[in-house]
Structure 1
Amino acid sequence: MANFYSIVLTLVTIVAGLIWLYDAKMKKPARLATIAKLEEQTNKTLDDEERERVAPQGRVAEFAQSVFPILFIILIVRSFFYEPFRIPSASMMPTMLAGDFVLVQKFSYGVRDPLFRTELLETGKPNRGDIAVFKFPVNPQVDFIKRIVATPGDRIIYRNKTLYLEPACVDNSAECPQLQVIERNVQQQDEVYFSRTTPLQRFSEQLGEVKHEILIDPTVAPRTAYYFQQAGTAADEWIVPEGHYFAMGDNRDNSEDSRYWGFVPYENLVGKATFIWMSLEFDRGPDSWVPEWLPDWVPSGVRWHRLGNVE
């Protein structure tokens, strides 16, 4: 459940805050009165240890008072600023690998409440080339991460593994943009990526102001028959509706994306991926230090060279 942790964190924070508030308003005055009465009787000012012994605070209230500020800060940061996200698959190779941990900038595409995801403040919209995390339109309980390829009003064609884009015509413009080929250039491969045993071809591509790399599997035929069919367009053509976006994985032949299930509504957007803060590998080669009997989720190493900004 994609929103499970947000819901749990919010509820736990609220409960801890209410317990602390109840103790401060209802219980603390009685404790202070007891301490004041004893100090008056003994004509002596009690230190903190003696006060705690004479009128102790309940353990639950003490715990709530301790953890509430921490939980509140985490909730605010996670809900409105940055949220960690783990890359679960190879669909965004070579930009992101399975085992990468990224920070998602939550306020890039609007500020939303953590429970119902109602937009509280509009702060921006995705641009072509952004790597966005969003609620999977088919199953909003699942988070997806893909690259925004087309924005509202754009016409897009993906034919013979070539991407064509006709940007939306801006109101009152003298001339509308024409359909253009998104050129891709062969990229020198200092590292080879595979799909099972097949080496993937590596290209550089530019969407808007973002230059990035993509992978193509030469052994996979176009899957046009499985594409999402939009009324009034060809089988491999789409026109992005208002308030929606078209997203694709950088690993083009190994990505379940908008080509197969359609468009991403604006309200499904979670944020923009900005930084890889950790990258773990799970390969169990013959030279691995990890014993074979350990579970598969135990990492075999850290890919330090991958830490940094993402494009």
Structure 2
Amino acid sequence: MTDATTTATAVASPPAMSALTAVLYGALVAYLGGWYLGAWTGNFSLLLLVLSLVTFGYWLAERFHFLPARQAAARSLEASDAQRRDKLHRQGITQVDTSVDSAREAVLAQPWWLDWTAGLFPVILVVFLLRSFLFEPFKIPSGSMIPTLEIGDLILVNKFHYGIRLPVSNTKIIANNDPKPGDVIVFRYPPNPRVDYIKRVVGLPGDEVAYINKRLTINGKPVPQTPLPDYYDDDSLRYSQMFSEQLGSVEHRILNERNAPGFVMPLPEFQSDREACRYSAEGVVCKVPAGHYFVMGDNRDNSQDSRYWGFVPDANLVGRAFFVWMNLGNLRRIGSFQ
């Protein structure tokens, strides 16, 4: 019985697989550690895809090789025990105190490297599919969208609203809605697509967007604004002018700093055709190219957006932000927003 158990364990749990799994987990910890420490920019979509493929490989190996091998070893153990009991019975010994139940359970048990790979495959796959095609969570890292979104807001983004896209490559395979003025969108930052940004859509393809003396004009028509009481920022300990602004059918709030200048300067990493924008001491006027969008932050004087680095290509769209699902510092922030 001992020899059968040892043989079964060796068949079902080869040392090479245990060592390989340890190496893979070590690589995962190193990748996440370097990402956390800022040594490199991680790609969570790519990471989930790799984890799904690796754990799927382990799941297949467990389903069609390792599990059948353990089951065969268990049957061999039971057959050996039955033969031993039959032999003892022929010798007149009918009471046998020993049992193979514990040994059988040990033989059938998954080794740690299968439990932490094949066992996690269904969970990782569900997370990968939900995050890739339905909803993705994001955390607001800056104040560029105050007062609509605050630092620390945990938001949900609808991934299919603007079309179904392949994970990692972000290639659109099924079209859906087009962005509308006033939509809050998450997109891949054009100068560095590994970084996600969140802003509000202001201009659509073909629109002429002017931001002159801190007033927004679309195709020659001023965007309606209504003054509101000043906004007090607890972090900066200062007041800002607040307005209600109407972009299309979306009414939202924006902030302006009283003493901030109206002009803007393009950044060196301006990604679009420079001739599409005209800069002056009063502000900027841009003609939005086909297949692109002009976006701005609601905190107008504290947002690096299309005024500074150009337009957002449709290929960079990630999804439409629509819900704050948590803010650990202020639970009253939970809810939908425009």
TM class by shorter chain equals 0.7 to 0.9
Give secondary structure in 1 for the equivalent of 2:51.
helix
Stretches of structure 1 lacking an aligned partner (at least 5 in a row)? 167-178, 281-301
Of residues 240, 258, 283, the one that matches 1:200 is: 240
Stretches of structure 2 lacking an aligned partner (at least 5 in a row)? 1-39, 84-98
Aligned partner of 2:260 in structure 1 is 220
2-structure distance, mates of 1:232, 1:130: 23
Q: In terms of mean alpha carbon deviation, does 227-236 or 180-189 score higher?
A: 227-236
1:256 aligns with 2:304: yes
Say how many residue pairs are matched. Answer: 276
Displacement of 1:272: 0.8
1-structure distance, mates of 2:61, 2:198: 42
Displacement of 1:200: 0.6
* TM-superposition CA deviations, 1:188-218 (whole Å, max 9, x none): 34x5237945421000001111100000111
1-structure distance, mates of 2:218, 2:259: 25
Q: Indicate conservation of the 8 Å contact 2:157/2:323, yes or no.
A: yes
In the TM superposition, 1:147-296 aligns within 5 A as 147-166=200-219, 179-189=220-230, 191-193=231-233, 196=236, 198-226=238-266, 230-231=274-275, 234-235=278-279, 236-280=284-328
Q: CA RMSD in A?
A: 2.4
* TM-superposition CA deviations, 1:68-99 (whole Å, max 9, x none): 11111111111111111111111111001111
Give secondary structure in 2 for the equivalent of 1:215.
strand
1:70 aligns with 2:111: no
1:304 aligns with 2:315: no
* TM-superposition CA deviations, 1:10-32 (whole Å, max 9, x none): 21221111112112212222222
Instruction: For 1:87, give the aligned amino acid.
Output: I
* TM-superposition CA deviations, 1:119-149 (whole Å, max 9, x none): 2322222111000011111111211100000
Displacement of 1:62: 2.5
1:10 aligns with 2:37: no
Q: Indicate conservation of the 8 Å contact 2:223/2:245, yes or no.
A: yes
Displacement of 1:113: 2.2
Displacement of 1:53: 2.1
TM-score scaled by length of structure 2: 0.75
Q: Indicate conservation of the 8 Å contact 2:188/2:197, yes or no.
A: yes
Q: 1:219 to 1:244 in 2, by over 3 A?
A: same
Displacement of 1:54: 3.5
Instruction: For 1:306, give the aligned amino acid.
Output: R
2-structure distance, mates of 1:71, 1:88: 26
2-structure distance, mates of 1:231, 1:14: 45
1:100 aligns with 2:139: no
Displacement of 1:116: 1.8
Q: 1:50 to 1:130 in 2, by over 3 A?
A: same
Q: Indicate conservation of the 8 Å contact 1:195/1:217, yes or no.
A: no
Displacement of 1:232: 6.1
Q: Indicate conservation of the 8 Å contact 2:77/2:104, yes or no.
A: no
Of residues 26, 30, 38, the one that matches 2:69 is: 30
User: Bigger radius of gyration, 1 or 2?
Assistant: 2
Looking at secondary structure, tell me which structure has more helix per residue: 2
